[in-house]
Amino acid sequence: MYFLAAPAPSGAGAPASRPRVYLGEMRADTIVATPQEIRPAAEHALEKDHWAISASSTGLRVVTEWKDFRHPLARLLMGKLRARCVVDIQPLDDTKTIVRFQGGLASDGDVADNPAFAVAQSTYRGAVEDFYHDLAAGIAEQRNSASSEALGSMRSP
């Protein structure tokens, strides 16, 4: 996962039990779709990748629950890690919407200097690309489904 090397501010002298949070590079893209098309497609793209959608999500923000990294090598080299994703949806006009994706990584220790952190950063870049690909596919699928339903209702007497 591609994360900023500096942990998010958590206060000086934070207890050791408080995790350090590293934010991934935020990626924004303008998509020709409405928020009403993007929201369900974003949820579907995340759920397809085994993320659980958090109750803290809103109409214009999709937030996942924290989940444990299960990759054995990452756990061996970096310890216990948790991750979550946030997708912000901002309409520009009637046809275009900005979609911002950002992931976060939480660790009980400082992983920024760990050599495996670079591998995590690279993996994150690929995961973000996969999200945007799945998002576009989900929007296209919704549109095809709606188009098929409209054609079907036009054929019915």
- pLDDT-based confidence at residue 40 (cuts at 50, 70, 90): very high
Angle formed by the axes of helices 116-155 and 35-48, to 10°?
A: 130
Please, what are the domains in the chain?
3-7+17-146 (3.30.530.50)
CB 8 within 8 A of CB 102: no
Query: DSSP for 38-93?
Result: HHHHHHHHHHHTTPPBPTT-BTTEEEBPPEE---HHHHHHH-SEEEEEEEEEEE-S
Nearest Cα residue to 2 out of 101, 80, 71, 89 = 101
Residue 124 has pLDDT above 90, yes or no: no
Residue 2 has pLDDT above 50, yes or no: no
127: part of which helix (H) or strand (E)? helix 116-155
Confidence (pTM): 0.81
**Average pLDDT score over residue span 135-157:** 78
pLDDT value at residue 157 = 54
Q: Which residues pair with 118 in a beta bridge?
A: none
- pLDDT-based confidence at residue 104 (cuts at 50, 70, 90): very high
- pLDDT-based confidence at residue 148 (cuts at 50, 70, 90): confident
pLDDT value at residue 10 = 43
**Average pLDDT score over residue span 71-94:** 88
